[in-house]
Amino acid sequence: MGAQFLKKGGGTGRRRRRGGAARMSEINVTPFVDVMLVLLIIFMVAAPMLTVGVPVELPRTSAGALPAEQEEPLSVTLSTDGTVMIMSSEVSLNDLIPQLRAIAAERRDNRVYLRADGAIPYERVVQVMGALNSGGFNNIGLVTEQGGPRFDGQLN
């Protein structure tokens, strides 16, 4: 793969073999670069798929996206069946505030993103927001999808 043979009369001037071809010891970098580029593309494609994803039907709004942070954002999800999940682990309502306090003690940022299904009653969303506030997170962002109706009645 990486070693090549020179024909008789070329190369270093010394013959190492009787057959006429001397071994050339240079590394061929082209296959190495090809493999690295393929790995780079694989990681670029796979990285966006590594985010936490609990399937919920988010409501649509005309608001823009928030800027990115340096610390991974804490995500609390409220699904249609009433389960509450912190990141990807399910939490009972009785354990929600103690777990949030433990998480808040370890984090520098008090920002949390609340992902609630659009079919959930508003009262339930507000109860979870109150629990988030009691748990030490007073900077709550509601996650929505873009492309919903605006107040002038048009779609984005």
How far apart (Å, rounded) are the C-alpha atoms in residues 22 and 7?
A: 7
Kindly report, residue by residue over 80-137, the tens digit of the pLDDT.
Answer: 888 888 888 888 888 888 888 888 888 887 888 888 888 888 888 888 889 888 888 8
Angle subtended at Cα 72 by Cα 71 and Cα 76, rounded to the nearest 5 degrees: 130
Residue 61 has pLDDT above 70, yes or no: yes
Whether 118 maps to a domain, the answer reads: yes
Any idea what the CATH number is for the domain that residue 59 is in?
3.30.420.270
**3-state secondary structure labels for all residues of the chain:** CCCEEECCCCCCCCCCCCCCCEEECCCCCHHHHHHHHHHHHHHHHHHHHHCCCCCCCCCEECCCCCCCCCCCCEEEEECCCCCEEECCEEECHHHHHHHHHHHHHHCCCCEEEEEECCCCCHHHHHHHHHHHHHCCCCEEEECCEECCECCCCCEC
Domain that holds residue 114: 54-146
What residues have CB less than 8 Å from 96, skipping those under 6 apart?
84, 86, 128, 131, 135
Query: In the predicted model, what is the mean pLDDT of residues 20-35?
Result: 82
Across the chain, what does the average pLDDT equal?
78
Instruction: Answer with the residue of higher pLDDT: 127 or 6.
Output: 127
pTM for the model:
0.53
Q: Are residues 71 and 129 in the same domain?
A: yes
Amino acid 35: pLDDT = 93
pLDDT-derived band at 154 (thresholds 50, 70, 90) equals: low
Q: Are residues 60 and 130 in the same domain?
A: yes
Kindly report, residue by residue over 140-150, the tens digit of the pLDDT.
Answer: 888 887 777 67
Poorest-confidence range of 30-39, 58-67, 124-133? 58-67
Q: Are residues 20 and 91 in the same domain?
A: no
pLDDT-derived band at 9 (thresholds 50, 70, 90) equals: low
Q: Which two tokens stand for residue 143?
A: 């996650």
Residue 152 has pLDDT above 80, yes or no: no
Tell me how many domains the chain contains. 2
